[in-house]
Amino acid sequence: MTLDLVLDIAMAASLVIGALFTLVGSFGLLKLDDAMKRLHAPTKASTLGVGALLLGSSLAAFGRGEPSLQEVLILAFLFVTAPISAHFICKVNLHRRSCDTPPTPAKDQTWATLDTAGDETR
């Protein structure tokens, strides 16, 4: 097995896996009924799908002898921003109480999402 064949197999596998994860993530985004449930589809499955597609693209560029830093930078930006944006969307839904059953805040002295300073339940 030559290095070109190994890179081609890895690239093809990465592209197929990325396409499947992206398909599952977009299907979950369309079919799940609640915003809190719908939040997991693009942040988990689609992020992994786009990450695998970018990995396949960087493997293809490496196989051609033209390695590129752009895919790595896009992948790093994606993996940093997707969890942060999902966290903010989740907090907005919790503060609006638009989800079906928001979790109860913790009963300790640390900060909780729905805990208020004048709460008498402590």
Residue 62: the pLDDT is: 87
Per the domain annotation, does 122 fall within a domain?
no
Encode pLDDT of 70-82 as tens digits. Answer: 888 998 898 888 8
Q: Which of 16-20, 40-44, 60-64 has the highest mean pLDDT?
A: 16-20
Whole-number Å distance between alpha carbons of 14 and 48: 11
Residue 9: the pLDDT is: 93
Residue 107: the pLDDT is: 63
Per the domain annotation, does 82 fall within a domain?
yes
Residue 84: the pLDDT is: 84
Per the domain annotation, does 72 fall within a domain?
yes
Per the domain annotation, does 74 fall within a domain?
yes
How many folded domains does the chain comprise? 1
Domain carrying residue 79 = 3-96
Contacts 24+ apart (CB under 8 A), 55-64: 55/14, 55/18, 56/10, 56/11, 56/12, 56/14, 56/15, 56/18, 59/7, 59/10, 59/11, 59/14, 60/7, 60/11, 62/7, 63/4, 63/7, 63/8, 63/11
